[in-house]
Amino acid sequence: MKIYLDPPLKGEENMKRDLELLQRSGVEQEVFLRLYSWQRPTISLGYFQKPEKVLNFKALEKYRLDYVKRPTGGRAVFHFRELTYAIAIPNNYPNLPSGITQAYRFISEPIYKAFISLGLSVKWARQEKNATEACFLAPARHEIIFNGHKLVGSAQRRTANAVLQHGSILLEAQPDLFAECLLGIDKEAFIRQLRQRTMVIPVSAWDLKIQLAAEFRRLFQKERNS
């Protein structure tokens, strides 16, 4: 397993590097983990979302925000004060489930254990319906929650040779600014729901980064040796 601790980068570069890890993983038959942050406030959209139907471009320009398309699916995510992870795994990796939901649980296990090690009594979520364009408004099955709040927003992509999963762990929330930049929403309700359903984790970025790296390495060393 190879681990990269990257400095803050622009959205396009972050997504480019994640996609490169997906491609390299299938070719090199290696697991890659990347932990990173964002140079500028950026909204990322899922691969199938259309920017003109989701984003308020005037608000983006007013607040000097960037946007980028992810190579994965899912809904809009506001990135800035957060720790983001990306992991790429060959499809034939030992014990990696073939199903999307099962693979999501398998890949998320080190994140779950990292939170536990940091003193957060997290749980696995059940599926909830999300009718908005924002990722964090409802946890999907096997996502991680703490006291009813979603802690991680993740998305996945599988090619013929490898799987990429990446996601955001909030260190600071800005729901008001996020709401200004989305089309077709009730802003007051959106902000209220985000505050009710999401949570900024009460740990330092450095402690979280070190614990995540340790737990991912522990899992993939164990699976490789099993």
As a whole number of Å, the CA-based R_g of the chain is 17
Share of the chain above pLDDT 90, in %: 71
Task: Please state the separation of Cα 52 from the chain's center in Å.
Answer: 23
Q: Is the pLDDT of residue 141 over 70?
A: no
Please state the rounded mean pLDDT for residues 188-205. 86
Dist CA 49 CA 55 (whole Å) = 10
Beta strand spans in 49-91 (E): 66-69, 77-79, 82-90
Q: Of residues 131 and 19, which shows the higher confidence score?
A: 19
- Give whichever of 96-100, 127-131, 160-164, 185-189 has the largest mean pLDDT: 160-164
Please state the rounded mean pLDDT for residues 152-159. 92
Q: Which of 16-20, 21-25, 71-75, 84-88 has the lowest mean pLDDT?
A: 71-75
SS3 66: strand
- The model's confidence at residue 71, banded by pLDDT at 50, 70 and 90, is very high
Give yes or no for a contact between 89 and 63, defined as CB atoms under 8 angstroms apart. Answer: no
Give yes or no for a contact between 88 and 29, defined as CB atoms under 8 angstroms apart. Answer: no
Domains of the chain: 2-225 (3.30.930.10)
- The model's confidence at residue 39, banded by pLDDT at 50, 70 and 90, is very high
Q: Of residues 138 and 193, which shows the higher confidence score?
A: 193
Q: How many residues does the chain have?
A: 226
Question: pLDDT at position 136, please?
Answer: 47
Q: Is the pLDDT of residue 128 over 80?
A: no
Model-level pTM? Answer: 0.89
Question: pLDDT at position 57, please?
Answer: 97
Residues labelled catalytic: 135
Q: Is the pLDDT of residue 130 over 60?
A: no
End-to-end CA distance of the chain: 15
- The model's confidence at residue 198, banded by pLDDT at 50, 70 and 90, is confident
User: pLDDT tens across 97-115, in order?
Assistant: 988 889 999 999 999 999 9
CA diameter of the chain: 53
